[in-house]
Structure 1
């Protein structure tokens, strides 16, 4: 590649590309994507494929005239997953591997590390990892919900250089191109803010579960980890030819100049908070430098139920989100502390239990 110097990329392909007619997998759009993967690998670029489509691929095996319950959709995913893997596998003369994930796997630090190790080992041995959300077993509590955000989490876990999200439009436009003929494609985004989200609108594919908003969310996750992110038209063969020629065929989101460290990025963008700790918001120092001085009497409220080691959201009493952190104590104990607010008691507790949260396991958030 001339302009882009990648060692490892994550490519996200949606349901509309896998099964455009919802009648099983189709090679109509997958062939050019598969050729892109083959050509990348031939140039020494490692590829990780995040592929939606199991439900769409398996839907034709079930009655279309009946209401599709959650259980039926899970069954579609189970049946369609094997069909989808077979569809990808027939394009390649190298081995591939299936990895099915839930958010529960990603938000648990030990399982997250295990996922990283598995991906790295597969890549080291020339095996193409093909990743999808495990729709068959996941519940609402454990769902990522869309493979755009899943692909960003995977890109972070895999220390990728670039994330490429395939869409049904050429990239991000200043307004919905399906509704406005004068919509203008934005070739480069330096910073994602509210104005960028406003442009995303709420358009969604008739087949997929994501929309432009989830792609922007994914781009925000990835770029904060130093990962260059593209939104591309996966339906056009020339998209992938232009990438291989070093050109930008869609919208490129530039990475942070100072990316988050891996552990901080995981806690910010992948770990989900299991509860909240509301504290007095009159800290004179940043929370990451002051967390060891967070005293029990500064706890205003404990929300939710969480155990030692869970990720919690620390919020000031004016509603400002301060940080996501590892809880050193359970919600039960912290509730007991908060209900006994006397200074004497708090000082005694502080002396005996140590820091409530540790500055070694904290991700400071932008004020919101």
Structure 2
């Protein structure tokens, strides 16, 4: 029975930026190595999305499988940490080469570790790099840096990594391409009465209990990790779509915002979740004073705070801290994550963005507070 009979057609939520996770089972050839068999349709979806003015970040598995294939003439024990790290290092190049061969746009490899996401400065640097790659119309291909990760600090699997990246880049949608077509009420491999679930409004404990383990030796995750990823994305206000990446027609349907799979709803809209966090998270002791023009600009819509509108900085705060933004009289205007520390903001006050590097000797970007990291008073009142 075809997927269209078993699963109803759904309309994907509106999106401008998505994270697409592709599992090892879709890339590993039966005899080892990588195959474009299923990747071609997924690459075509990415190309069509780019043509529509959308942005896609790809989180791709397959490096370990590719590395294992390169050394299949040797007896490599893939169970130990050092062996897995070696296989990952070997397989990264062919995995990136596969995606580059299928992409008309340049492909950039981005390797992340737990420390990159735990350390606020490195987190912001990773975020800025991904934003810049998207602005340059490059396809970022993200993976965990297995070569240097240690077990106790590993992100674990690419499903959860994809959810973290979706929040990192402020994605509107998380897409998980799998070797199953949907979430089922039970494991369909063992229970013939299992039925697909097309829509999950809330991830309850009973839903999580439906998940099984990894479906093959090529992958490190399973349905459980996909549900964990959907839960992380939902908490960040990002819906998740799970679908069969082996079915070319299903993948092609995504180009027209049609989903045949399972749609996990977000807890709230991405912007609502973001603004709510900015409204309620504890702020640093310092604050930024801005002039009347910047106050008016921030109140009028989604604009960033630039150095030219800054009058000064009070107190002490560091790059990445959440700070209060006030007008010249001290009246609250908003809150945001500052790209620069207090001492740097004081030096940049009133300057043009193009002067940042000449003043500081380096630059973290043209904005003191990026619009995606800023909530104005009116926006905060709406989420209270």
Answer whether TM exceeds 0.5 for this pair.
yes
Query: Take 2:31 and 2:139, find their aligned partners in 1: how far apart are those partners?
Result: 25
TM-superposed CA distance for 1:6, in Å, is 1.2
Matching of residue 129 in structure 1 with residue 152 in structure 2: no
Q: CA 1:135–1:203 in 2, change beyond 3 Å: closer, same or farther?
A: closer
Give the 3 Å change call, closer, same or farther, for CA 263–116 of structure 1 in structure 2: farther
Separation of aligned partners in 2, 1:125 and 1:29: 27
CA offsets 1:327-354 (integer angstroms, 9 cap, x no match): xxxxxxxxxxxxxxxxxxxxxxxxxxxx
SS at match of 2:43: helix
Match of 1:50 in 2: 59
Alignment-derived partner of residue 273 in structure 2: 260
Task: Find the counterpart in structure 2 of residue 106 from structure 1.
Answer: 117
Tell me what 1:116 maps to: 127
Identify which of 64, 77, 82 aligns with 1:67: 77
Is the Cα–Cα contact under 8 Å of residues 97 and 127 in structure 1 kept in the other structure? yes
What secondary structure is seen at the aligned counterpart in 2 of 1:41?
Answer: helix
Equivalent residue runs for 1:40-189 within 5 Å: 40-62=49-71, 63-68=73-78, 69-189=80-200
Quick check: 2:23–2:219 contact (8 Å CA) kept in 1? Answer: yes
Alpha-carbon distance in structure 1 between the residues aligned to 2:213 and 2:82: 27
Counterpart CA distance in 1 for 2:209 and 2:217 is: 21
Of residues 42, 47, 51, the one that matches 1:38 is: 47
Taking the aligned partners of 1:84 and 1:203, their CA distance within structure 2 comes to 21
Partner SS for 1:12: strand
Q: How many Å apart are 1:110 and its aligned residue?
A: 1.3
CA 1:224–1:15: 2 relative to 1, 3 Å: same
Does the 8 Å contact 1:9/1:164 carry over to 2?
yes
Specify the SS of the correspondent of 1:32.
Answer: helix
1:26 is aligned to 35
Deviation at residue 233 of structure 1 after TM alignment: 0.9
Classify 1:246/1:93 alpha carbon distance in 2 versus 1 (closer, same or farther; 3 Å): closer
Which has the larger displacement, 209-218 or 11-20? 11-20
Give secondary structure in 2 for the equivalent of 1:88.
Answer: helix
Q: Displacement of 1:190 after TM fit?
A: 0.4
Q: CA deviation at 1:64?
A: 4.7
Secondary structure of residue in 2 paired with 1:131: strand
Distance 1:191 1:230 in 2: 14
Q: How does 1:335-354 map to 2 (within 5 A)?
A: none
Residues 12, 259 of structure 2: 8 Å contact kept: no
State the 1:130 CA deviation: 0.5
- Structure 1 residues 57, 203: CA separation in 2 closer, same or farther (over 3 Å shift)? closer
Q: How does 1:201-240 map to 2 (within 5 A)?
A: 201-240=212-251
Q: Is 69-78 or 221-230 further displaced after alignment?
A: 69-78
Residues 43-74 of structure 1, C-alpha deviations (whole Å, 9 max, x = no match): 11100000011110110222453434432221
Q: CA 1:151–1:19 in 2, change beyond 3 Å: closer, same or farther? A: same
Contact 1:22 1:57 in 2 (8 A): no
1:22·1:207 contact (CA, 8 Å) conserved in 2?
A: no
3-state DSSP class of the match of 1:94? coil
2-structure distance, mates of 1:61, 1:241: 32
Unmatched segments (≥5 aa) in structure 1: 269-368
Cα distance between partner residues in 1 of 2:194 and 2:261: 14
Shift of 1:21: 2.5
| Separation (CA, whole Å) in 2 of partners of 1:238 and 1:123 | 27
3-state SS of paired residue (2:171)? coil
Deviations 1:215-268 (A, max 9, x none): 000000101111110111111111212222232210001111265337959xx9
Per-residue deviation, residues 95-147 of structure 1 (Å, max 9, x unmatched): 11100011111111111111111111111110111000111111012210100
In the aligned structure 2, how far is the partner of 1:109 from the partner of 1:188?
35
User: How many angstroms apart in 2 are the aligned matches of 1:150 and 1:66?
Assistant: 26
SS in 2 for 1:221: helix
